[in-house]
């Protein structure tokens, strides 16, 4: 019985650690690549404005 409780606690800790790693990794990915996406969107918007002016 004690072994089952210990294994269950270890499984819960591993799940919590994995969930935390996925959340932190995903947020880091968004922070790093969001700047690139916004910069590309601004460049496309400026190019469209310049093309419409002509």
Dihedral angle sign, alpha carbons of residues 26, 29, 31, 36? negative
Mean pLDDT of 13-19: 96
Between vectors from CA 39 to CA 36 and to CA 41, what angle results, nearest 5°? Answer: 110
Residue given tokens 């932190």 in the structure block: 24
**pLDDT cut 90: percent of the chain above it:** 61
pTM of the model: 0.53
The whole-number pLDDT of residue 33 equals: 81
54 pLDDT exceeds 80? no
Task: Please provide the average confidence, as pLDDT, over all residues in the chain.
Answer: 90
Cα–Cα distance for residue pair 18/33, rounded to 1 Å: 22
Predicted confidence (pLDDT) per residue in 30-50, tens digit: 777 888 888 889 999 999 999
């Amino acid at each position: 019985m004690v072994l089952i409780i210990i294994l269950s606690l270890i499984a819960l800790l591993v799940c919590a650690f994995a969930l935390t790693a996925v959340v932190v990794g995903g947020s880091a990915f968004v922070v790093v690549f969001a700047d690139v996406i916004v910069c590309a969107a601004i460049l496309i918007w400026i190019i469209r404005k310049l093309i419409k002016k002509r």
